[in-house]
Amino acid sequence: MKNTLSLPLFLLSFLFYLRYEEASMRPNRGARWLGCSLTAFALALMAKTSTVMLPVLLLGCAAWRRGRVTRRDWLNAGPYFALALGFGLMSVWFQKHQALTGAALAPESFWERLAIAGRVFWFYLEKALWPARLNLVYPQWDVQAAAPAAWLPLLACVAVALVCWRWRGSWGRHVLFGLGCFGVTLFPALGFFDAQFLTRWQVSDHLQYLPLIAPVALAAAAIASLPGAAFFRCVSAAAVLCLSVLTFERARVFSTEEGLFRDTVARNPAAWGVQSDLGALLAARGAHAEAADHFEAALRANPDYPDAHVNLGRIMLMQGQIEEAEEHFLAALKTEPHNPEAHRSLGTILSRQGKPGQAVRHLLVALRFKPDVPTRLECAALMHQTGDYAGAAEQFRQVLLVQPDSLESLNNLAWLLATCPEDKVRDGAEAVRCAERASRLPPRKGICVMGTLAAAYAEAGRFQEAVETAERAVETETAAGETRFAALNTQLLTYYRAGRPWREPPAGKGKAEDGGAP
């Protein structure tokens, strides 16, 4: 959307500026066109800051049309440069300090980036004029600044510029302006500034959405300058037909997510991000063996990719390969110490290994960076198991903030507040409120809300209601075949009839089963 919106606004700003130049030839005319142009430019920058190079193009256009840049041209472009500088600095700051948070770029010197920029220029120019062998993710180049061959693309740029300058009195002026517009508008995507896209790509087709109009316009102008209107119409019709066919064929690749991923990895098996995304899609569909193959392919291309480690670890965990899964989760945390999925999966493994305390620590880290209900419920259960009753209660309360009608959380929190062995955690009034809310929700097999409500009434000192509710619980659970819950509530009835609430034994001291414990 931001790409699509930014280009019309960019072109409108350019067009309004040209109208301003034409109107300003007469006294007191043209101010409104300049205002419209500046407004359109500001809107274009708000849509996408890749339009930031417009003021440079305005000066280039003045040089192309009149052969020089005057003082008046600089003054007219001043407000554009002010807007461009403000939005440009904001974009550079955002990319470095927000978009790249937690991500690392490969270390590259200025000279390496300069050498790569020359290659990027020719890559995009080729795709603009000959859009063949397109791909979502292209293979990355290993450019070494110390190698003489690395500088050939940049030297070719300089050579073309010098040739055009030599013939600037004729065709060279037009070619220089067209390729200059292309290079200037492409500048934000050349890789000189740290940006999020550099974590996965050196080049990407969508990054030249705005720049490609310059070489296309230059090519169209070259064809139009050839003698014969009929020839121009024929070539134009052939070009439109050819490009339409190519567009139709390429668009089919984007019709499904899986189709796009498979096309990408077929053309570039080293596209580790797409390999992992395709694996995740297949894993969600249950094709775990094929998914594992793609995760392994991703790790061959990028051994430090945390998402692939986590996803492959999950598949191994499902297959019972605990040690292998743990290795992948630890490898993910080595690269990305705050990866919530790796911490949660490690917590699950440690819980299975009988280490609930260590499991809780990992789950708490996962919740800090990605709070979600399943992780909170798992964490609450482990906290209850280790005796951190206050922590367990807090996790249930956090769940209820986002899911007020969570039957499991209401029931478990009420039971905890009613039967906790720690005085500072128990709260009979809150336990009754939670249990009564739970009793108004549709029942669910495996959760004895009546038994929890009876325990809550007993903690609140309402023993008559506790007895009546527990008796109903015994009848209901017996009729439903829930003999375990029926037996437990029969046992607890003796406490309520004696005017005593029931307390869970402290953690680790042979806790009895209950009707609503986590």
**What is the per-residue DSSP string for 283-311?**
HHTT-HHHHHHHHHHHHHH-TT-HHHHHH
Domain-located, residue 312 = no
Q: Answer with the residue of higher pLDDT: 31 or 267.
A: 267
Residue 517's pLDDT band, with cuts at 50, 70 and 90, is: very low
Q: Assign 3-state DSSP to the chain and report helix, strand, coil percentages, each to 5.
A: 75, 0, 25
pLDDT of residue 197: 84
Does 65 reside within a domain? yes
Find the farthest-apart pair of alpha carbons in the chain and give their distance in angstroms, rounded.
Answer: 109
Q: How far apart are CA 141 and CA 125, in angstroms?
A: 17
- pLDDT band of 83, cuts 50, 70, 90: very high
Domain count for the chain: 1
- Angle between helix axes 110-129 and 171-186 (nearest 10 degrees) is 120
Is residue 46 in some structural domain? yes
Q: Which domain holds residue 31?
A: 1-99
pLDDT of residue 121: 96
- On average, the pLDDT of the chain sits at 91
Percent of the chain whose predicted confidence (pLDDT) is above 90: 75
User: Computed over its alpha carbons, how large is the radius of gyration of the chain?
Assistant: 34
Instruction: Specify if 142 maps to a domain.
Output: no
Q: Which two tokens stand for residue 303?
A: 């051994």
CA distances from 23 to 11, 28, 164 (A): 18, 9, 31
Of the pLDDT bands very low, low, confident and very high (cuts 50, 70, 90), residue 508 is low
Residue 116 lies in a domain: no
- Per-residue confidence at 102, pLDDT binned at 50, 70, 90? low
298 within some domain: no
Residue carrying the six token digits 């439109």:
240
The percent of residues in the chain predicted with pLDDT above 70, rounded, is 97
Distances (CA, A) of 482 to 162, 419, 469, 496: 88, 21, 16, 21
Residue 36 lies in a domain: yes
Q: What are phi and psi of 512, to 5 degrees?
A: -80, 160
Q: What is the pLDDT of residue 512?
A: 39
Judge contact between 488 and 499, C-beta under 8 A. no
Helix (H) or strand (E) holding 218: helix 213-224
HEC string for 343-362:
HHHHHHHHHHCCCHHHHHHH
Report the sign of the C-alpha dihedral through residues 60, 62, 66, 67, in that order.
Answer: negative
Find which of 109-113, 464-468, 484-488 is predicted with most confidence, using mean pLDDT. 464-468
Q: Is residue 260 part of a domain?
A: no
pTM across the whole model: 0.77
Q: How confident is the model at residue 509 (pLDDT cuts 50, 70, 90)?
A: low
